[in-house]
Chain A
Amino acid sequence: MTTPSIHLPVLGRNECGDHPDLGAVRAAPQFWRSLAELEDANWAPHWLVNEFSAAAAEWRDGPSRRRFLQLMGASIALASFPGCRRQSEEKIVPYVDDPERTAVGKPQFFATVFRHRGFAQGLLVESHEGRPTKIEGNPDHPSSLGATSTLAQAHVLSLYDPDRSEAVRQLGEIRKWESFVAAIRAAMKQEEPSGGAGIRFLTETSTSPTLAAQMRSLLQRYPQSKWHYYQPVNSDHVLAGAELAFGQRLRPHYHLEHVAVGLAVDDDFLFAHPDNIRLAREFSAGRRVRRGTTRMSRWYALDTHCTITGAACDERLPAPRRHISSLLAALADRLGMRGERPESESAPSDAQARWLDALAADLKANRGACVVTVGDAQPPQVHALAHRINEHLDSIGRTVTLIEPAEATAGSHFNSIRDLVSDINSGQVNLLFILGGNPAYDAPGELEFAKAMDHVERVIHVGQYVDETARRSEWHIPLSHDLEAWSDARAADGTASIVQPLIEPLYFSRSLHQMLAMLMDEPSDDGHAIVQNYWRQWWESGKGAGEEGEGETQTDGGPTAFTLRWRRWLHDGFIPGTAAEHVRPALQAVEAQTSEPAGLSGMAGARGGSGILLDVQLAPDYSVWDGRFCNNAWLQELPRPWTKITWDNALLIAPADAEEHELETDDVVEISVGGRTVAAAVAVAPGHPRGAATLQLGYGRGAAGRVGNDVGSNAYPIFPASGTFVQPAAVVRRTDRRHRLVVTQEHHSMEGRDLVRVASLEEFMRLGGAIGAQPHGRSAPLYPEAPEGLGQSENAWGMSIDLSACIGCNACTIACQAENNIPVVGREQVDMGREMHWIRVDGYFEGHRDNPLVHHQPVPCMHCERAPCEVVCPVAATVHSNDGLNEMVYNRCVGTRYCSNNCPYKVRRFNFLLYNDWDDPLAAMQHNPNVSVRNRGVMEKCTYCVQRIRSAEIEARKDNRRIRDGEVVTACQAVCPTQAIVFGNLRDEDSAVSQAKAQPHDYALLEELNTRPRTTYLARVRNPNSDAQTGGGHGR
C-alpha cells in the first residue's frame, strides 16, 4: 500500500463548465431509509420511474478522457437495455498509450490531507483507474503517523454523495457561471468607491496559507471590507486561555509519549482535538503493556459527558462542565499553588476530594512528566489555570510546548460572528460572501443568523450542498470536495501540506481559491496554478531554504529546482520545515486573571419555570461532528461510542438523574433556553455526570440531503454564543412523546462472562501477566488431527488485538466498511438488528452505573481453526483455506443463515434485502474493485482483507520470496490510531503478531468452546490509583 506516485499531472479545466445547468437532471433516489422506500424502488425499477439513469447528466457534459474512463464501468448501463438491472453491459476501452506510472488494475496512492476542524491530517488516498476509493493515513505526516479517524475515512464517501450541489444557482434557479461572474463583478464595482465597506467575507477555520494570502490581497483591494470566520467547534478558548496566561494567542502542543501522569480536563483529545490521531498514538505508546512491563502512564479524566477519552483513562471523575473550574482550582490548591483558592460555594464532595488528593499526590510525585490538557469547551480561565498548573509541574517545555496557531483565523470565532450579525443588523452589509460553512444552521441560536441574512442585499454562498445557508442566499456556488481541487492546509503543529486532487470535479464546482481569484479579477482561475504560485513565491523568497537542501541545481531543459521540490512535497504529503516553532513565553502575573469573570461556575442561575433544571451541555458528535458530515451514511450508521446509538443524537443523562426525574431512554423532552426550544430524545447513559445532560451538535437538519435530513434534533437553537458549550440550568420539560433511539448493542453487561479480561498493572505484574481464567486444557479431539493447528501452508494468518490500546474510536469499523464495500442499511434495518459492519466495537460497562469502567472490544471474524460455521453450511459456502482463513464464498451461498446461528461471536452479516446499490454509478465509483459487491440473500463477514493478502502473495511470488512481516496490513489495522490491531503470519515466529500472541496476557475469546480462534486479544491492563476511589467502577 505504500507505493505513492510522485507526480500527478495538472488537471485540465473542467470542460463541463460550459454547461453547468445540465447537472440538475438527476433525481432518482440512490439511498433508501425505510423498507417502504426500498420496496417502492424494487417494485418500480428506476427506468419506469425515471427513464434516464442517474448518470444521464454526466454523459451530456462531454466528459474528458479521464472522466470517461472513470465513468465507463459504471454508467454505461444507460446505453444498455434499461431493464437489465443487475449486470449492466460494459464496454472495455483499452488504453492506446498507457499513461505514465499506471497499470490498470493496480491502485495508486496519492498524498493529500483531510481537514479535521480545518487542520490537516495527512492521507494517502488509494485510487483505482482514477477513482479515489479508500483513504489511508500518511505515515510521514506528523498529524497522521499512518493512521486516520472515522471522519477521514468517511471523506471518500462524501465525494460521491449524490446529494452534493451540482450547479450554480440564483434563488434556486440554475444559472451559468458567467452570469454569476457578471452579476458579482458589477456588485463589487458598486462597492469599490467605499473601499468595500459593505462587503463581508465569512469563512470557517482556515489553515490554508494560499487562502490567507488571497484574502489579504482582497482585503487590500477593498480595505473597508471585513473577513469574519466562524465554525461552531473552534479554538477560541484555547487561544484566549493562552492569552490570559502568557499574553499571546498560542496553542498548547502536547507530547504525551513520555507522560507519566496525565489529566484530561473536559478534553476529549482522542477525538475532538485537531491533532487527535497523533495524540492517540502517543497516549497509547505510554500504555503498551508487554511481558515484563512495570511502568505505564496513568491518566485521570475530569469527564463532563461520555467521551472515549474518559473511557480510556484510568481514573475518571464525571463532573458537569460547570463544576470543572472549581475542581481544577481545588486541584491547584492541593498542588500548593497560591492564589488558586477554590470557590467556597462549590467545594468538592468527599469523593471528589479524595480523587483530587490522589491526583495531586500523583502529579507532585511525577513532576516534569505530567500534563494537564483542557478541552475547547472550557472557558479561557480554566485554560489559563491549566497553563499555570503545567508551569508549576515543570511540564511546559517537556510535555507541553507552545506554538503559534496554525490557522489564519486565529481570532475569536464567536466574537467574529457576533460582530458580523451586528453589522448586518445595523445595515452595514450589502454583499456577504459565505465561503464554506453553514452558519444559517450552525450559528448560535441567539444570534438568529438566518434571519439576519435576509437583511443583506446579496448573499453568495459557496458550499458543497444546497444547505440551510444556500437556501437563504441569493447565489449558491458548488464547492469542490477536497479530493477534487487543489488547496493547501496546515496541521495542528503548523506543518503545511498541499491538498492534491485525485479526480476532476464530478460536478460544476469551484474551490475557494478559484472563487477568490475570480473576485480579484485574476485572469486564470486554475486552482493548481494559484496554489503552486503561492508556494513558488514562498520558496523563492527563501523561506523554504530552511529545509534540508541536497543542492539540486537547475539543469537546462530539466525541471526547475522548484518543480522538483513541488513534486517532492506532493509525493511526501507535506512540506518539510514548515512546522511552527516552539515559543517559551513567560507566565503573566496571576492578578491579570482575577479581574476576569470567574469560570463557568459563576454562571449558575436559577431560572424559573416548571420543569427540570439541568445544565444542558453541547458537544460535537462522534459521527457528524458539527453537522457537516450529516449526509454521510457511513458515519450516520456508525454506532456512537458508549451509547451505541445510530442515526440519531440524544440527550445523554445520568441514570440517577433519570430515575429522579422519571425519565427513560426514548422519552422526548423539550429544552427551553431564552424562548428557544429544542425537543430531543433522552438516552440514559451510565457514567454521565449528574446534574447535567449532554446533547450532540449536528443533527435535526432540514437541508442536509437524503441521508441526513430530519435525523435527530438540532441543538443549535440553544447553542450559546459565548462559546461555553453549556446552557446552565436549562429548563427541561417532559413530553408525552417517545422517539425510538436505535442502538446496535442493547446489553452492556458481561453477565459475569470472561469476555474482556481486565487487570491492573499491579495484578499483571503479580500474576506474571496471566490474567483471567487460564485455559482448562483442550478437550481431546474425537478424530485424529494435524499435529499443529497452523496447517501445511507457508503462511498462517492471525490477528492480535490489544485491548489496553483500544480507545473505542470506531475507525476500524468504518475503514473496513470503505475497504470491503460494506453497504449501509438504514435506520429501520439497524433497528431490526441487521447492521452489516464486519468489525464492530463491543462496549461493556463494569461497576457502578454512576461511573462504570467502559471496556471496548473490537470483534472481527475470529477465523477459528475449528470454525463452527463451516460444519453446518449445507453447500460448503464457508470453508477453510490452507493459510488459515475462514473463507466465505458468496457465489456459493444459498443463505440458510445456519452459519450465523452457529457463530458464537455473531460476526456474520446477512444481506436480508438488497442492501447494495447496484444502480448508482456514484456508489460504484467508490467501490473497491478487488472486493465482490454482495447480492441479496448471501452471508458475509470479515475476510482478514483477503484481497490484500492475495495481492501481497502475487507480489511475493513475482520476486520469488516469502511475504514479509508487515506487508499485509488489514484495513482495520492500517487505520488504527493506537496500533491496537496487529496482523500477520503466525508461522513466522518473529512476526509482530507472533510476538503479540506470545505475550502472557494473550487470550482467546470464548476459548472454552474450543473453536481455536486465530484472532486473539491482549487483556486490558489499566493503571488505576487505589487512593482515588470514588465509589464508582473506576479505580477498582
Chain B
Amino acid sequence: MAAESQFQPHPAQMQPAKPRRSGSRVIRPGMTYASVTDKISSIVLTRPVDWIWLLGFAVSFLLTMMLIGAISYLLAVGVGVWGIDIPVAWGFAIINFVWWIGIGHAGTLISAILLLLRQDWRTSINRFAEAMTIFAVGCAALFPLLHLGRPSRFYWLLPYPNTLGLWPQWRSPLVWDVFAVSTYGTVSLIFFYFGLVPDLAMLRDRSTSKLGQIVYGLLALGWRGSAVHWKRYHRAYVLLAALATPLVISVHSIVGLDFAVAIVPGWHNTLFPPYFVAGAIYSGFAMVLTLTIPLRWMYGLHGFITEHHLDNMAKVMLGTGLIVAYGYAMEVFMSWYSGSEFETYMMHNRATGPYAPQFWLLVSCNVIAPQLLWFKRFRTNVPALFIMSLIVNVGMWLERYIIVVTSLHRDYLPSSWGMYSATKHDWMLYVGTIGLFVCLVFLFIRFLPMIATFEMRELLHGHSQAEEEH
C-alpha cells in the first residue's frame, strides 16, 4: 500500500509553477496542491468533531428516527393514515417523490453535462452535488414504495420471470418510472463512487487510524495513481458522464409523463416532460445552494467555492426558472386555447379555487422572487442567495402540490369533487425524509472528502499551465 506514493508525487514537493493571479475565479489565489489536499482531507481525517456538526447531526438523526417510526406505523396501519382520498388518491407521497427526484437532478447535471461542456467551475461542487443526488434519489425512492397500498408486492412492477407468467403492464408510466429512477440511481451511484476512488486512495494514505486505513483502503479498490490508472480513469469518467447525460433528461421527462399520460385536466399536457426537466434542474440547483452556503461557511471553504460558483449557480437557477415560468404561462395559455371546458375550469380553479393561496405562493416563489437574480449584486450576496434558494425549494414543492392536488380534486364530475389535506403522518414522513437527507449529508462530510481533491489539483495544474503559456 505504501508503494503507491512513488507514482504520485507528494503534494508538498510539487509547487505550482507560479503564484496564481487574481484573474482565476474558480479557486482562490494562494492555493497550492498541498493546501488543497490538506484543507479537504482535514475535514475528514483530523478536524475534531465540532458542535455545529454534532448539533446538526443530532437533530437530523432524530428526524430520521421519526421517519422510521412513521414508516413503521404506515406499514402497520396502511396508507389510510395519510390524507389521501377519492378523488385525490395521490398526495404527499407523490409530491415528495417528484420534489426529491427533482432535487437529485443537479448532481448529475453538474457532474456529467458540465464536465462534457468543460465548465471547470463545476469541479468544486460536483462531488457534493453528486452525493446530494444519491441521497435525494434515495429519499425519493422511498415514496413510491411506501405509497403502494400493498408495499410488500412492489416487485410486481419489475419484469422478473415468475410462475404467473405476468409481466408489468408496459403502457403504464409507473413502470417506466421504475426503470428511469432505478437506472438514474444506479448510474449516479456509480458515477459518484467512481469519482471518489482517487480521493479514497488519498484518504487511505493519509489516514492515521488503522480502521480508516482498512476501510478507505478497501473502498479505494487498489488505486495506485499510476499513469495507466489515470489514463483509463479519465476515459471511463468521460464515458460515464456521456452515459449519465441522457438520464438527466429522461428521468424527469418520465416523471412528467406520469402526469401527462393521464387524462386528468391539469395533467394531460404535452409540455410536461421538458418543463419538468427544467423544474428539476431549477430545484436541484436551489438545493445545492441551500447546502453549499452553510457548509462553505462552516468549513471555511471560501477558497474552493468562490462567489463565482455561487454566481454561476444563481444564473442557472435564473435560466431554468425562466423556463419554468414559461411552462406556467403555456399551461395557462393552453387551458384557454384547448377550448376544453374542463381545462379552462381547472386553471380557473387553480387561480381562484380553494387552493388559490398555494398557487399564488407558488407563483411568487418560482416566478416573481427569482427575478432578483438578474442583478449581479443580488447574486453575489451570499445570505440573500441562501434565502432565495430556500424560496425556490419551497416554490418547487408547491408546484408539485398544485399539480397533484388541484388537478385531482376537481376533475370531470362535480359530484365527485373533494378536498385534500395532509395529516400529521404525511408531514412526519416528509419532514422525516428531509431529516434523513440532512443526516446523510452530515455523515458524508465527516467521512468522505466533500470536494474532489484530485480534480481541484488538476484544476490548479491546468491554471498554472495556462498561465505559463501566457
A residues whose Cβ falls under 8 Å from a Cβ of B = 35, 38-39, 42-43, 745-753, 755, 829, 832-834, 840, 842-844, 857, 859, 868, 871-876, 892-898, 900-902, 904-906, 908-914, 935-939, 1005-1006, 1009
Interchain CA distance A868-B268 in the complex, whole Å: 12
Interchain CB contact (< 8 A) of A901 among B148, B153, B166, B262: B262
- On whether A875 and B78 interact (CB within 8 A), knowing A868-B263, A901-B264, A938-B150, the answer reads no
CB of B263 within 8 A of CB of A1009, answer: yes
List B contacts of A912 (CB < 8 A). 78-80, 84-85, 149
Stretch of B118-126, B170-178, B299-307 contacting A (4+ beta carbons < 8 Å) = B170-178
B85 neighbours in A (Cβ, 8 Å): 832-834, 912
Set of chain A residues within 8 Å of B86, measured between Cβ atoms: 833-834, 900, 906, 908-910
Contacts of B14 in A (CB 8 A): none
Partner of A913 from B77, B173, B414, B415 at Cβ < 8 Å: B77
Which of B89, B173, B264, B414 has a CB less than 8 Å from the CB of A750? B414
Selected contact of A874 from candidates B151, B172, B264, CB within 8 Å: B172
Which residues of chain B are within 8 angstroms of A874 by Cβ–Cβ distance? 156-157, 168-169, 172, 174-175, 178
Determine whether B467 belongs to the interface, using a CB cutoff of 8 Å to chain A: no
Q: How far is the CA of A334 from the CA of B77 in the complex (A)?
A: 66
Min C-beta distance of A310 to chain B, whole Å: 20
List B contacts of A875 (CB < 8 A): 153, 156-157, 166, 168-169
CB contact under 8 A between A914 and B78, given known A746-B417, A832-B85, A901-B262: yes
B59 to chain A, nearest CB (A): 28
Q: Which residues of A contact B77 (CB under 8 A)?
A: 38-39, 42, 913
Query: What is the bound-complex CA distance between A753 and B410, given in angstroms?
Result: 13
Contacts of A906 in B (CB 8 A): 86-87, 411-413, 416
Q: How many angstroms between the C-alpha atoms of A895 and B145 in the bound complex?
A: 10
| Alpha-carbon separation in the docked complex, A896 to B146 (Å) | 10
Residues of A within 8 A of B149 (CB): 893-897, 910-912, 936-939
Query: Which residues of chain B come closer than 8 Å to A939, judged between CB atoms?
Result: 149
Closest to B349 in A: A751
- CA of A753 to CA of B263 in the docked complex: distance in angstroms? 17
Starting from the known contacts A844-B414, A871-B171, 9 additional A-B residue pairs (CB-CB under 8 Å) come to A750-B414, A755-B413, A842-B415, A842-B416, A859-B415, A892-B166, A896-B148, A897-B89, A913-B81
Question: Is B90 part of the contact surface with A, judged by Cβ < 8 Å?
Answer: yes
Whether a CB of chain A sits under 8 angstroms from the CB of B237 is no
Asked if B458 CB lies within 8 Å of chain A CBs, one says no
Docked CA distance A745–B413 (Å):
11
Contact A913–B78 (Cβ < 8 Å)? yes
Instruction: Tell me the nearest residue of chain B to A906, going by C-beta.
Output: B416
A905 touches B412 (CB 8 A): yes
- Does B333 belong to the interface (CB within 8 Å)? no
* Most chain A C-beta atoms within 10 Å of own C-beta, residue among B157, B175, B345, B416: B416
Whole-angstrom CA separation of A875 from B89 in the bound complex: 18
Known interface pairs A871-B261, A894-B148, A894-B150; A876-B80 also in contact (CB < 8 Å): no
List 17 interface pairs A-B (beta carbons < 8 Å), by A numbering.
Answer: A38-B77, A43-B76, A747-B414, A873-B169, A873-B172, A874-B174, A894-B157, A896-B147, A897-B90, A904-B413, A905-B413, A906-B87, A906-B411, A912-B84, A936-B150, A937-B149, A938-B149
Q: How far is the CB of A749 from chain B (nearest CB, A)?
A: 6
On chain A, the residues within 8 Å of B415 by CB distance are 745, 747-748, 840, 842-844, 857, 859
Our pick among A746, A872, A894, A911 for the contact of B173 (Cβ within 8 Å) is A872
Contact of A871 among B151, B172, B416 (CB under 8 A): B172
Provide the bound-state CA to CA distance between A937 and B150, in Å. 5
How far is the CB of B135 from the nearest CB of chain A, in Å? Answer: 25
CA distance A731 to B408 in the complex (A): 44
Once the chains bind, are A868 and B413 in contact (CB under 8 Å)?
Answer: no
* Measured CA separation A875–B144 after assembly (Å): 14
Task: Return the chain B residue nearest A899 by Cβ.
Answer: B89
- Distance of A13 Cα from B341 Cα, bound (Å): 67
CB distance from B79 to the nearest CB of A (A): 6
Min CB distance A455 to B, Å, is 51
Q: Which of B397-435 contact A (CB under 8 A)?
A: 408, 411-419
- Residues 224-257 of B, flagged 1 when their CB comes within 8 A of A and 0 if not, give 0000000000000000000000000000000000
Q: For the complex, give the distance between the alpha carbons of A893 and B174 in Å.
A: 14
In the complex the two chains form, is A937's CB within 8 Å of B168's CB?
no
Asked whether B274 is an interface residue with its Cβ less than 8 Å from the other chain, the reply is no
Closest 6 CB pairs of A and B: A895-B149, A937-B149, A912-B80, A833-B85, A913-B80, A842-B415
Q: B11 at the A/B interface (Cβ < 8 Å)?
A: no
B78 and A901 form a contact (CB under 8 A):
no
A901 and B168 contact, Cβ closer than 8 Å, known pairs A751-B345, A906-B411: no
The interface size bin for chain B is 35 or more
Which residue of chain A is the closest to B88 with respect to CB atoms?
A: A833
Residue of B nearest to A914 (CB): B78
Identify which of residues 65-120 in chain B touch chain A, using a CB-to-CB cut-off of 8 Å.
Answer: 76-81, 83-90
- Measured CA separation A892–B156 after assembly (Å): 8
**Which residues of the other chain, B, contact A872 by a CB distance below 8 angstroms?**
171-174, 261-262
A859 to B416 CA separation, bound complex (whole angstroms) = 11
Q: Which residue of the partner chain, among A748, A833, A842, A871, contacts B87 with CB atoms under 8 Å?
A: A833
Minimum CB–CB distance from A487 to chain B (whole Å) comes to 42
Residues from chain B with Cβ under 8 Å of A937 in the complex? 78-79, 148-150
Complex: A901 Cα to B178 Cα, angstroms: 19
- Chain B, residue nearest A840 (CB): B415
* A747, A829, A904: the one within 8 Å of B263 (CB): A904
Are A902 and B78 in contact, CB atoms less than 8 angstroms apart?
no
What residue in chain A is nearest B342 (Cβ atoms)?
A: A753
Within B143-194, which residues are at the interface with A (CB < 8 Å)?
Answer: 147-151, 153-154, 156-157, 166, 168-169, 171-175, 178
Contact between chains at B174 and A896 (CB < 8 Å): yes
Which residues of chain B are within 8 angstroms of A752 by Cβ–Cβ distance? 341
The residues of A that contact B147 with a CB separation of less than 8 Å are 896
Is B174 a contact of A898 with CB atoms below 8 Å? yes
Which residues of the other chain, A, contact B417 by a CB distance below 8 angstroms? 746-747
Contacts of B81 in A (CB 8 A): 35, 913
CB-based contact B413/A842 at 8 Å: yes
Task: Name the residue of chain B whose CB is nearest to the CB of A872.
Answer: B172
Contact A1006 to B169, CB < 8 A, known contacts A834-B80, A868-B262, A896-B174: no
A833 vs B4: C-alpha distance when bound (angstroms): 66
Considering the chains assembled together, what is the distance between the CA atoms of A874 and B168 in angstroms?
6
Do the beta carbons of B341 and A753 come within 8 Å of each other?
yes
A35 vs B82: C-alpha distance in the bound complex, in angstroms? 11
A936 and B78 contact, CB distance less than 8 A: yes
User: Which residues does chain B contribute within 8 Å of A876, judged by CB atoms?
Assistant: 166, 168-169
Chain A residues with Cβ below 8 Å from B263 are 868, 902, 904, 1009
Closest to A38 in B: B77
B80, B153, B263, most chain A CB atoms within 10 A: B80
A150 CB, nearest partner CB in chain B, Å = 19
Provide the residues of chain A in CB contact with B169, threshold 8 Å. 873-876
Chain A residues positioned under 8 Å from B88 (CB to CB): 833
| CB-nearest residue of chain B to A904 | B412
> What is the CB-to-nearest-CB distance from B443 to chain A, in angstroms, rounded to a whole number?
32
Distance (whole angstroms) from the CB of B86 to the closest CB of chain A: 6
Q: Which among B148, B153, B415 has the greatest number of chain A C-beta atoms within 10 A?
A: B415
Q: Is the CB of A910 within 8 A of B89?
A: yes
Tell me the bound Cα distance from A937 to B171 in angstroms.
22
Nearest B residue to A841 via CB reads: B415
Contact among B153, B171, B412 for A894, CB-based, below 8 A: B153
In the complex, A936 Cα to B78 Cα: how many Å? 7
Docked Cα-Cα span, A753 to B148, in Å, equals 34
Nearest CB in chain A to that of B172: its residue:
A874
Residues of B within 8 A of A900 (CB): 86-87, 89
Q: Which residue of B lies closest to A879 (CB)?
A: B169
Cα A908 to Cα B86 with chains together (Å): 8
Given A747-B417, A913-B78, is A902 in contact with B262 using a C-beta cutoff of 8 Å? yes
Nearest chain B residue, comparing its CB with the CB of A871: B171
Q: Which residues of B contact A753 (CB under 8 A)?
A: 341-342, 412, 414
Instruction: Enumerate chain B residues within 8 angstroms of A859, measured Cβ to Cβ.
Output: 413, 415
